[in-house]
Structure 1
Amino acid sequence: MVETPHRGRTSPGILIRYAGLLALLFTETAVAQESAPSAGGHAVGHIIDSVRPTAESGIHGFFALLGHQPIAFILLALALGNLIGKLDVKGVSLGSTAGSLLVGVIISMVAEAVYGITYSIPGVLSSFMLLLFMYALGLKVGPQFFSGLRKGGLAFVGVGVIVWVLNWVICYFGASWVGLAPGYATGLISGSYTITAILGVGQSALSSGAYTPPAGMTVEQVGANMAAAYAISYVLSSVGIILLIRYLPRIFGRDAKADAKQAEREYSGGATHPVPGAPGALVMGFSPYDLRAFYVTHQQLIGRSLAQLAKEYPQVPILRVVRDHQVLELSDDLVLEKNDIVTVRGNVHDLILEEGELIGPEADEALARNVPLEVADIHVGSHALSGKTLEELESRGTGGVTVQALFRAGNELPLGPASVVLFGDVIRLTGPDVAIKAAAKTLGGRAILPTLKSEVLYLSLAMLVGYLVGIVSVTISGIPFSLGTSAGCILAGVGVSYFRSRNPEFGGPVHEGARSFLQDFGLNAFVVVLSANVGPKVITALGGDTLVWLALIGTLGALIPPLIAFWVGFKFFGLNSIIADGAATGGRNSTPGLNAIIEESGSSVAAVPYPVSYALTTVLALIGGYFSMILS
């Protein structure tokens, strides 16, 4: 007789038998895999091989699992990094990017120092994630980019040059002053600037013979010095610059959110609506127009067709007809009958005072009132309407809609009844779908409505073009000159957004939720992969007084230049604090820093000057790195 355990309790014997059964199952599965390999057997065996180290050796096995499964490492660092980034201590927080970077570095350092496990994740993953971030950011700032160049291009260049000069002076002369061996100065410049390519030009100077190591020192030793200095300064500067850029406006007594709003107004040329193609363009705004439903009781409406009524009352079109609790399909020859319920849209004031008297008593029929309102951009394609005013257009069958904004060549125009509409302009309308489509037909265009459609085609082609442009390199005296893939992809995003702002029928606005996710996930995944690969190098560089000097000089070289450049941009060039911050972080080549000020200010306007100073200082930093090696 088998003893039945009490309900809600499990006997030890049962647990033992279950454990034995599971062990037997795993053993038999492994044996079956060896004797009769199959797709399913390989998969199960792979899972067991991955999980077994954790079960057998606890924490050591867990770190080993992260090494075998880099995706698990990335997801863990992202989760913990975002949690830590949200912690707020007296108004100061790391943010998701710095938090993810810090967690990744700590995990990889512990694995190396305690268990001898060195993580290595393919760099192509981090590079691709960074390019996704840059493209998404370009989509956001595209409409403001060119106006930003016109407004403060020279100042952006000045801020970038200041960052580069000060970084080179601090790293090169700092290394020379404390007596660091050859190679350390170049590594410090590369790490504090977070430009790995500087190591490449330094190595090029060594391999080409442009620099010859002193007696008793090999080329390999110089290269090792560069790598050690790079690893130490890279980690410290990556975390430090995020915090500095995030709080620079606050350090100088500025409100980041308020200054960001002011900058948005300045760089929009006084416009109050997002241009066509920009995220958030097709968001419903306030309208003085409203929907009302009335019973048809007046004799002058009964027996009249919708086409006749549209000509007599173009400003208040009929948007829906309900008869016997059924919604009728609208057509020009539809004739109204007594006690039909019609839905109209017009100015609330006029509806209250006039339409009830004209049509009949107001109705509370849900079918008549449930008419969803939409917002759409329409590209004016009718030459016959070019030169007409908005007031004249309203009398031509564009009633039932509200003109929310008017754009010409991507710029918002003042809006009023006398505003003139030209061929090629873009009009933003709000209203019921039937009214918007009718207006679009009259204007010779089609309504661009917000959608969740895939952006993969535009993303792939634009990023491909940006990437190819970025890798084009011209070598002069051993120094490669190129725009860089990051700058290429952000400019690709700017180009797509700029093109759509003038031609909204080519896709319309990118959905802001998708764009924002791409931006955040791309950057955070990039820094996590980077942290996994850089963390172990920090361990190998530890030891002696050299470590202290590398940490000190690298940190000063990373933080002092953007601090001073921000002050010059803010005080002498008169830049808005958020714009000066964006120029400084571009001059420092810190994409995570840019994301930090975007989070702090709640705006992407800091990205307007970023590509200008970024592209310039990338070239200057490579030149400076080459000469720092030669002069060593």
Structure 2
Amino acid sequence: MAEISRRFGTIARPASYFLLVPLILLGGSAVAQSDRPSPSKTVVGQVFDRIEPGSEASLHDFFQLLGNQPIAFVLLALAIGSLIGKFSLKGISLGSTAGTLLVGVILSMTAEAAYGITYSIPGILSSFMLLLFMYALGLKVGPQFFSGLRKGGLAFVGVGLIVFVLNWVICYFGAAWAGLAPGYATGLISGSYTITAILGVGQNALDSGAYVPPAGMTIEEVGANMAAAYAISYVLSSVGIILLIRYLPRIFGFDAVADAKRAEADFSGGATHPVPGAPGALTMGFSPYDLRAFEVAHESFVGRTITQLASDFPQVPILRVVRGGVVLDQTKNPTILKGDIVTVRANVHDLILEEGELIGPESDNLLARNIPMEVADVHLGSHAISGKTLEDLERHGTGGVAVQALFRAGNELPLGPKSDVRFGDVLRLSGPDGALKAAARQLGGHAILPTLKSEVLYLSLAMLVGYLVGIATVHISGIPFALGTSAGCILAGVGVSYFRSRNPEFGGPVHEGARSFLQDFGLNAFVAVLSANVGPKVISALGGDTVFWLALIGTAGALIPPLIAFWVGVKLFGLNSIIADGATTGGRNSTPGLNAIIEETGSSIAAVPYPVSYALTTVLALIGGYFSMILS
């Protein structure tokens, strides 16, 4: 107990401890004690001047614990941030991502300002979480990505260019107009664009001698200016862009949910079923086929084997025979006796009008009716079957298997008795598990059934390839250019889902719950780590009129370009509002912004244009950051 008291303060004061934590979170950053010399820390507030010594010691130990245990910090920021993100005021809410960022920054700023505790969480954790998010997102939008390129590739490029040009003009000329010292403009571009790599190219311009600081100023001072501008503008623009992107359609009078549904229909090419490998592909949905059980009474049915009946009635196959409370072995081709209960599956219309009278009275026997139904995708791998119609396949007796959809080269085809199947097609079948596997063997493929397992092998290999492609760097005139690991991983996810739509055996299936978890948790954990590391930089940048200009210019550079680009995308390019929003957040390089519009619409369709404008503006932003430093 003595050790517990020493670490966490006296047990007699728990109420003050728990009351002060939400006070810190709601009231903003706390100020340091009066004996702390840093001027930047005295501008945060006077909260801790009124805290009793025991309570302050408890809070110090609390923040020290978060510093010593980074995982605890991440989980706390995720929990409180997600809770705050759920609260809505007149239909407007932060969402989990912005909430997590805000809570993390407040915690890290409080620890730095009040107790001199600087949080620093290894960047590998945040980087890996971001890559998981990007890959999971790519899995969902892959089949629609190439359709999106064909439909609006040039418009996506145009939206991205508008965002980049306006951001550079606002940040560079805004810093010059405000009389800010060298380095601030580059930091503003980096922070307002939330691209840390811009700081790297700016520092490269300094180290290589491409930019020489003016007399009386050192390279270190210019670098410090970049870092300060980056920290201030990064935090403000990160929160601001999430809210802006989330509500852009609403600001311009669009119904985000309705437009998302229209965009999904448009980019699906008229398909009514998800392509193989897509979320929701292996769900049963509505089917005119149903299971029915009948007690055999008619003499015309008695004394015949299952094989004989299947040949005479291919449309109504027998799935199970129950005799005396025991399920008979179908593989032994039993002979049907009077009083047996047989389970059939067929179109309800046919069952009602014909088979009940032919077989006998309907039965509610649970053993006969308890046959679980599944949905499976089967890749057609038999040349002997290629060219036959669905009607031809049914004549062979499908064992209770019904065709739900037919896909060729990732596109859904009209379904009818005369629809022909070809080698490489994918058939979506529904029926009992055993029947599905038997039908798959006849078609020369494997039944891809729903699963709760995650395909780690393909995830690891695909992300590795995407990561290596992303880090591949080309230097032109001293400026390093790379696709970026984030873009590499989302394209890896796009590639896997694209090939899976052609052949569901390619790394599938991936359970939608697992994919969705990777997407949501990956991004929010990335933001939590990022907030811990950026908070102290914000503290060091506080003080004087410079902070005001950094906040004003950084916020303007972050929010005005997307606002204008969205309007151009909708009005001039004629884009759907959600597609324009996705292109805009890609042009702004805001992955949290993309997640915000996904949360708002309940659809991932906004991610279709995202990689196009994202990849373009990543390259342009690096070039712009380099020249902003040289021109300073």
1:490 is matched with 490
1:399 CA drift (Å): 5.1
CA deviation map 1:371-420 (0-9, x unaligned): 11111111112222222221222112225222111100011111122222
Deviation at 1:106, TM superposition (A): 0.4
Q: Aligned residue for 2:296?
A: 296
1:447 Cα deviation from its structure 2 partner: 1.1
**Separation in 1 of the partners of 2:3 and 2:166?**
68
- Structure 1's 384 and 54: CA in aligned 2 closer, same or farther, altered over 3 A? farther
Counterpart of 2:310, as a letter, is: A
Q: Which residue of 2 aligns with 1:568?
A: 568
3-state SS of 2:277 partner: coil
In the alignment, the residues of structure 2 paired with residue 23 and residue 442 of structure 1 have an alpha-carbon distance, to the nearest angstrom, of 72
Kindly state the Cα deviation for residue 426 of structure 1 after the two structures are TM-superposed.
Answer: 0.5
Shift of 1:454: 3.0
Report the Cα offset of residue 332 of structure 1: 5.3
Q: What is the CA–CA distance in structure 2 between the aligned matches of 1:23 and 1:531, rounded to whole Å?
A: 30
CA 1:54/1:75 → structure 2, altered by over 3 Å: closer, same or farther?
farther
Distance 2:548 2:334 in 1: 86
User: Letter of the aligned partner of 2:108 in structure 1?
Assistant: S
Q: How many residues align?
A: 586
- Alignment map for 1:181-580 (pairs within 5 Å): 181-331=181-331, 333-398=333-398, 400-580=400-580
After superposition, give the CA deviation of every residue in 1:337-390 in whole Å (9 maximum; x if it has no partner): 221110001111111111011111111211001111111111112222222221
8 Å Cα contact 2:455-2:508 kept in structure 1: no
| Structure 1 residue 210: Cα displacement | 0.5
- Partners of 1:625 and 1:88 lie apart in 2 by 37
Please name the residue that 1:127 is paired with.
Answer: 127
Which deviates more, 360-369 or 391-400?
391-400
Question: How far did residue 22 of structure 1 move?
Answer: 9.4
Alpha-carbon separation, structure 2, partners of 1:210 and 1:488:
30
- Please give the per-residue CA displacement for 1:26-85, whole angstroms capped at 9, x wherever unaligned: xxxxxxxxxxxxxxxxxxxxxxxxxxx999921111011111111111110000000000
Q: Take 1:451 and 1:231, find their aligned partners in 2: how far apart are those partners?
A: 44
User: Percent identity, aligned pairs only?
Assistant: 82
Q: Tell me the distance in 2 between the aligned counterparts of 1:238 and 1:398.
A: 56
Letter in 1 for 2:213: P
Report if aligned partners of 1:407, 1:425 keep a CA contact under 8 Å in 2: yes
Contact 1:171–1:553 under 8 Å retained in 2: yes
Residue of structure 2 equivalent to 1:13? none
Greater mean alpha carbon deviation, residues 299-308 or residues 310-319:
299-308
Q: 1:369 to 1:535 in 2, by over 3 A?
A: same
| Counterparts in 2 of 1:21 and 1:211: CA distance versus 1, 3 Å | closer
Contact 1:449-1:508 at 8 Å conserved across structures = no
Query: 257-266 or 428-437, which moves further after superposition?
Result: 428-437
- d(CA) in 1 for partners of 2:217, 2:4: 60
Alignment RMSD (CA, Å): 1.7
SS in 1 for 2:403: strand
Question: Is the Cα contact below 8 Å between 1:236 and 1:551 reproduced in 2?
Answer: yes
Distance 2:610 2:439 in 1: 40
Q: Unaligned 5+ residue runs, structure 1?
A: 1-18, 25-52
Q: Which whole-Å CA distance do the structure 2 matches of 1:96 and 1:56 have between them?
A: 30
- Residue 128 of structure 1 deviates from its aligned partner by 0.6
Task: Give the corresponding residue for 2:140.
Answer: 140
- Give, in angstroms, the shift of residue 301 of structure 1: 2.1
Q: Deviation string for 1:252-299 (max 9, x for gaps)? A: 111111111111111110111110011211011101111111112222
Q: Where does residue 93 of structure 1 map in the other structure? A: 93
The answer (yes or no) to whether the contact 1:54–1:61 under 8 Å persists in 2 is no
Q: Distance in 2 between matches of 1:528 and 1:56?
A: 25
User: Does the CA-based 8 Å contact 2:473-2:481 persist in structure 1?
Assistant: yes
The 2-side partners of 1:263 and 1:326 are apart by: 52
Letter in structure 2 aligned against 1:163: V
Q: Distance in 1 between matches of 2:544 and 2:56?
A: 37
Q: 1:231 touches 1:534 (CA, 8 Å); kept in 2?
A: yes
Partner Cα separation in structure 2 for residue 566 and residue 54 of structure 1: 53
Residue 48 of structure 1: aligned partner: none
Name the counterpart of 1:600: 600
Counterparts of 1:589-628 in structure 2, within 5 Å, are 589-628=589-628
Structure 1 pair 23–254 and aligned structure 2 pair: CA distance change class (3 A): closer
**Which position in structure 1 is the counterpart of 2:162?**
162
Q: Which residue of 2 aligns with 1:77?
A: 77
Tell me the CA shift for residue 303 of structure 1.
2.0
The question of whether the paired residues in 2 share the 8 Å contact of 1:295 and 1:362 is answered with yes
Structure 1 stretch displaced more, 330-339 or 553-562: 330-339
Whole-Å Cα distance in 1 between the matches of residues 336 and 324 of structure 2? Answer: 13
Cα displacement string for residues 83-137 of structure 1 (whole angstroms, at most 9, x for unaligned residues): 0000000000000000000000000111111111111101111011100100000
Instruction: Give the Cα separation in 2 of the matches to 1:614 and 1:139.
Output: 17
C-alpha distance in 2, partners of 1:475/1:451?
Answer: 45
CA deviations over 1:150-172 (Å, ceiling 9, x no partner): 11111111100110000000000
Change (3 A) 1:23 1:548: closer
Aligned to 1:173: 173
Tell me the secondary structure at the aligned position of residue 405 of structure 1.
strand
C-alpha distance in 2 between matches for 1:331 and 1:137: 45
Distance in 1, matches of 2:55 and 2:138, equals 46
Task: Look up the match of 2:114.
Answer: 114
Is 2:401–2:431's contact at 8 Å kept on the other side of the alignment? yes
The answer on whether the counterparts of 1:378 and 1:447 sit within 8 Å (CA) in structure 2 is yes
Question: 8 Å contact 1:306–1:331 — kept in the other structure?
Answer: no
Task: Give yes or no for contact 1:305–1:332 (8 Å, CA) kept in 2.
Answer: no
Work out the CA distance in 2 between the residues paired with 1:201 and 1:54: 48
Partners of 2:156 and 2:58 in 1: CA distance: 53
Q: Structure 1 residues 212-221 or 183-192, which shifts more?
A: 212-221
How many angstroms apart in 2 are the aligned matches of 1:225 and 1:507? 48
Alpha carbons 1:54, 1:60 under 8 Å: kept: no
Deviation, 1:20, is 8.3
Query: 2:36 aligns to what?
Result: none
Q: CA deviation at 1:443?
A: 1.9
Distance across 1 between alignment mates of 2:602 and 2:508: 24
Counterpart Cα distance in 2 of 1:65 and 1:99: 22
Per-residue CA distance 1:550-600 (angstroms, 9 max, x = gap)? 000000000011111111111111111111000000000000000000000
Please give the alpha-carbon distance, in whole angstroms, between the structure 2 residues aligned to 1:152 and 1:332: 59
User: 3-state SS of the aligned residue for 1:273?
Assistant: coil
TM-score, reference length from structure 1: 0.91
Q: Return the alpha-carbon distance in structure 2 between the equivalents of residues 184 and 21 of structure 1.
A: 48
The one-letter amino acid of 1:591's match is T
The answer as to whether partners of 1:260 and 1:603 remain within 8 angstroms in 2 is yes
Aligned residue for 1:217, secondary structure, equals: coil
